[in-house]
Amino acid sequence: MKKSFLGNSGIEVSEIALGCMSLPTEAKQAGIIVDEAIAQGINYFDTADLYNKGINEEVVGKALKHHRKEIVLATKVGNQWSAQSDEVKWNPTKAYIKEQIHASLKRLQTDYIDLYQLHGGMITDDAEETIEAFEDLKKEGMIRAYGISSIRPNVIKRFLDKGNIASIMMQYSLLDRRPEELLDSIGQAGKSVVTRGTLAKGLLTSEGLQRAGKTDDFLSYSKDELKNTLKKLLAVHDNLHALALHSILQHDTIRSVVAGASSADQINATIKAYETSVSPEQITQAKTITRQDIYQEHRDKVTGP
């Protein structure tokens, strides 16, 4: 498993990461999946305090407790959830971030977080205050680096300009190529991108056509367009899963694909796809078949087309 550094953080992550949101809540089952990920060379594990109201962090903490020095642990903050209801409020304030890290550390059974990420962001936020909170936590030794999880060009630009982020998590796949307009500028700024949604809800796996038959549409693709596009991609490479992963990882700014798994078999399928050869020509072909849309919202004059 190839590893590379997140921005200028000095943190080295595997090209495939385990997105922990789909882990079972039962400790033994979750432990089997995590152990398999580590055995396959994955060292990067991503969760969030929002997932299942903190229970996911507890599951991850228990599963990784005995591997802490071997792995990179990432979590997220900013969504203030109510223990009594399903209500979630956006709260990127310094006070909230510095309060919540203690809760995350306790659930994760660790005394530091490798990568602490703002779980969203709006242009109306006080970004300077948020950045100050993260910088304080770095100085206090509670986090090694910080980043954001956002697809909004104006929010991304603000954090690139004002903060010392290591990474940006973005939804990016062959069926959602909107981040491509931003990748070069992010890389030139010395920052890295980690991706989510790279398998497009399973559409870019061996079950892709079957899932497309049960899907009305996907982003700007109609049902028929989606099925036709997947058929064309299969003509380029008979392993959609492999084509999906390598088409994203080929850009120098991308450091890791964060892929979810609810079973050890799913981890093994992703690793097998990762180890399957995909040529640069096949990636080029795949990108002539799919659309390169751009973000239509959350732009300003500087980041606009």
Which residues are marked as active site? 51
Beta-bridge mates of residue 196: 171
Our separate counts of H helices and E strands in the chain read: 11, 14
Using CA atoms, how far residue 272 sits from 16, 18, 206, 239, in Å, is 11, 15, 12, 10
Q: Round to whole Å and give the CA distance between 20 and 267.
A: 12
Residues 6+ apart with CB under 8 A from 75: 46, 47, 48, 49, 57, 104, 108, 113, 115, 116, 117
Structure tokens given for 36: 């398999």
Structure tokens given for 129: 């205050």
Q: Round to whole Å and give the CA distance between 242 and 296.
A: 29
* HSE of 118, CA atoms in CB hemisphere, 13 A: 34
Q: Round to whole Å and give the CA distance between 188 and 186.
A: 5
Question: Is 33:264 a contact under the CB 8 Å cutoff?
Answer: yes
Structure tokens given for 232: 């064309």
Question: Is 233:174 a contact under the CB 8 Å cutoff?
Answer: yes
Question: Is 95:136 a contact under the CB 8 Å cutoff?
Answer: no
